[in-house]
Structure 1
Amino acid sequence: MANFKGHALPGSFFLLFGLWWSVKLPLKYFHQMGLKRSRLSQQQQRIEIIEGAIKTLFAVIGILAEQFVPDGPHLHLYNENHWIKLMNWQHSTMYLFFGVSGIIDMLTYLYFNIVPLGLDRLVLAIAVFSEGFLFLFHVHNRPPLDQHIHSLLLFGLFGGCVSISLEVIFRDNIVLELFRTSLLIFQGTWFWQIGFVLFSPFGTEWDQKDMDNIMFITMCFCWHYLVALCIVAINYTLVYCFLTRVKRSTEGEIIGIQKLKSDHTYQSALLSGSDEE
């Protein structure tokens, strides 16, 4: 949809997944540092299956929104010698690839003995690459600011594609995972930024040919990614502090129980000794 809602919808999806990953991935990393791996793997399996299902659901919602809005193509691609709403079809294609990625996520963790390890990451990398490829040819013959703000999105998309591709080989690498997360958060906020600039809900219009606007948007790109990095860093720190606190309280309870058992054993021994005398 070439309007504000059409950019806010995918932006919200990407932002929600990015925020979720910024909590889930540090949790997984710190658990793998030394907690119960066997129990964690089963729990992680369920979480990944649910995540894949939600990703697929989001993709289906996106496709339906693009196709069946009042001015949408309604699954008609070609009619009377002309293409119908190709902008909506491009967005639908983007959602389609992420839907396939969600299905592969579910299959990977449902049939982990059959599906090759790393296939979920590979398909996700393909989905991100397809999104970037579509946007690369998305804004030809459009105003300079429109072209520029979409081209900046490509840096995040192709950077994410490279990072996720490396995860196929270096699986569970926390640095690559957090980098991917920061780019996803950036992508979500940047879709909102595109909506506000090109289709402002407040009625204010940006001059699409003003170079100052282009310079500001370039600077704004850096601010968005800095905010994404800060969100990842803050959530990583909060997860670490939370797990450390839980671990200390658990160890304190164990020590208290052991002390009570020790005192009880000592008292029993004293009573036994006094009876014998």
Structure 2
Amino acid sequence: MGSLEGHLLPGIGFFLYSLYYSVLTSLALLREQKVLKHPMLLRKLWGHKLFWQVSYEALVKVLVPIFGIFGEFFYPLGLNRLQMIDWKDPRRPFVFKDNWQHATMFGFFVLSGVVDMVSQSRLAHWGVKLERAAEALAFYVVILLMATHIENKSSMEIRVHLLLMVPSFLLALVITVEIWVPNHPPLWILKCWLGLVFSNWMFQICEMYVPTTGQPWRSDSPTDHAFLTVFFCWYMALAAAMFITIYGLCSLWHYRYSSWKKTPGARYQRCRMESTGEELEKLRAETLAQDGVV
């Protein structure tokens, strides 16, 4: 869907996923975890036992793109763009190019989610490498299709999609490195930042359909082109600030939660073997006073 709704859905999906991943990364760094653990769904959901142990991440990867695919072909309701070839035309031309490109992008993210589900439940040893490979493939597909997606577009649309390809390529590169260098905290942070840049820039594309100034972006204006690049740089700084904020909030929660878990009790104190009875009684009285016992 080359429209506001068509860019808003993946933008929201990527943004929520980036926030979720940023929280996981922040907590993992605070807890000094060596492995980034993803929360799993409960074994029983709505009273039914799940056949597979599924993570929230994998579920989102499958459900959100499926909604996107449905929207590409059947939104607004009543339309049907599922046709790929116009059989009524003797030349048999391909039709609905943009929709099929978007659906293909969504489809590879669905594939990534399915791979996550299978690997998390069946392939304990090779699971992580397989998950990262499928995720990297999805972003490489985005880049490949985006290269042809911008054909026959206005110069402004070409510019905004080229800028979107920058975080896409870097994300694909980082995830590819994770295949061979897993569980590396700097890569976790870089992935969070790039994900926030990618999702925030999707919102900027949405803004171009409904300009905040009330005036449309002009493809024939060098100034508009220049400011578009300026805004992209600002979005990179905004993404970094967002991750720092998330880390700070998680830090406050982590230390506050850790303090709640501490239970009061008698402190260990060394007692010399040659201590007299009076010294032992004095030490016992001090210990009771520390515990708040009168």
Q: Is the shorter-chain TM-score for this pair beyond 0.5, marking a shared fold? A: yes
Label 1:30 to 1:108 Cα distance change in 2 as closer, same or farther (>3 A).
Answer: farther
Corresponding residue for residue 13 of structure 2: 13
RMSD of the TM alignment (CA)?
2.6
Corresponding residue for residue 265 of structure 2: 257
| Letter of the 1:148 counterpart | R
Query: Is this contact kept in 2: 1:45–1:109, CA < 8 A?
Result: no
Identity of aligned residues (%): 25
| 1:101 maps onto 2:112 in alignment | yes
Label 1:113 to 1:142 Cα distance change in 2 as closer, same or farther (>3 A).
Answer: closer
Mapped partners of 1:207, 1:146: distance in 2: 10
State which of 182, 201, 210 in structure 2 corresponds to 1:200: 210
- Tell me by how many angstroms 1:115 deviates: 4.2
Please list the CA deviations of residues 113-146 of structure 1 after superposition, one character each: whole Å capped at 9, or x if unmatched. 3644311011101101111111111112322111
Label 1:104 to 1:117 Cα distance change in 2 as closer, same or farther (>3 A).
Answer: same
Larger radius of gyration: 2
Tell me the TM-score normalized by structure 1.
0.83
Label 1:174 to 1:224 Cα distance change in 2 as closer, same or farther (>3 A).
Answer: same
| SS of residue matched to 2:5 | helix
- Tell me by how many angstroms 1:18 deviates: 0.6
Mapped partners of 1:180, 1:126: distance in 2: 15
- Tell me by how many angstroms 1:99 deviates: 0.6
Query: Is this contact kept in 2: 1:63–1:96, CA < 8 A?
Result: yes
Query: Is this contact kept in 2: 1:107–1:115, CA < 8 A?
Result: no
- Which sections of structure 1, spanning at least 5 residues, go unmatched? 268-277
Please list the CA deviations of residues 145-166 of structure 1 after superposition, one character each: whole Å capped at 9, or x if unmatched. 1111110111110011111111
Number of equivalenced pairs: 255
Mapped partners of 2:179, 2:244: distance in 1: 24
Corresponding residue for residue 225 of structure 1: 236
Tell me which moved more, 96-105 or 115-124: 115-124
Tell me the TM-score normalized by structure 2.
0.79
State which of 141, 144, 155 in structure 2 corresponds to 1:133: 144
Corresponding residue for residue 52 of structure 1: 58
1:159-178 map, 5 Å: 159-178=170-189
Report the structure, 1 or 2, having the larger helix content. Answer: 1
Query: Is this contact kept in 1: 2:81–2:96, CA < 8 A?
Result: no
Please list the CA deviations of residues 39-94 of structure 1 after superposition, one character each: whole Å capped at 9, or x if unmatched. x96x7455962220121001111100111113854321112322221111111111
1:150-189 map, 5 Å: 150-189=161-200
| 1:74 maps onto 2:81 in alignment | yes
Tell me which moved more, 207-216 or 64-73: 64-73
For CA contacts below 8 A with separation 6 or more, give which structure has more relative contact order.
1
Please list the CA deviations of residues 158-205 of structure 1 after superposition, one character each: whole Å capped at 9, or x if unmatched. 0111111111112121211121111111111111211222x2267632
- Tell me by how many angstroms 1:107 deviates: 1.5
- Tell me by how many angstroms 1:33 deviates: 3.9
| Letter of the 1:22 counterpart | S
| Letter of the 1:243 counterpart | H
Corresponding residue for residue 3 of structure 1: 3
Corresponding residue for residue 128 of structure 2: 117
| Letter of the 1:196 counterpart | E
Query: Is this contact kept in 2: 1:143–1:209, CA < 8 A?
Result: no
Mapped partners of 1:125, 1:236: distance in 2: 25
| Letter of the 2:265 counterpart | I
Corresponding residue for residue 22 of structure 1: 22
| Letter of the 2:85 counterpart | Y
State which of 153, 159, 163 in structure 2 corresponds to 1:148: 159
Query: Is this contact kept in 2: 1:52–1:102, CA < 8 A?
Result: yes
- Which sections of structure 2, spanning at least 5 residues, go unmatched? 43-53, 269-280, 286-294
Label 1:231 to 1:60 Cα distance change in 2 as closer, same or farther (>3 A).
Answer: same
Query: Is this contact kept in 2: 1:72–1:88, CA < 8 A?
Result: no
| Letter of the 1:165 counterpart | T
Query: Is this contact kept in 1: 2:132–2:178, CA < 8 A?
Result: yes
Mapped partners of 2:93, 2:33: distance in 1: 58
Query: Is this contact kept in 2: 1:160–1:180, CA < 8 A?
Result: yes
Corresponding residue for residue 90 of structure 1: 101
| Letter of the 1:212 counterpart | T
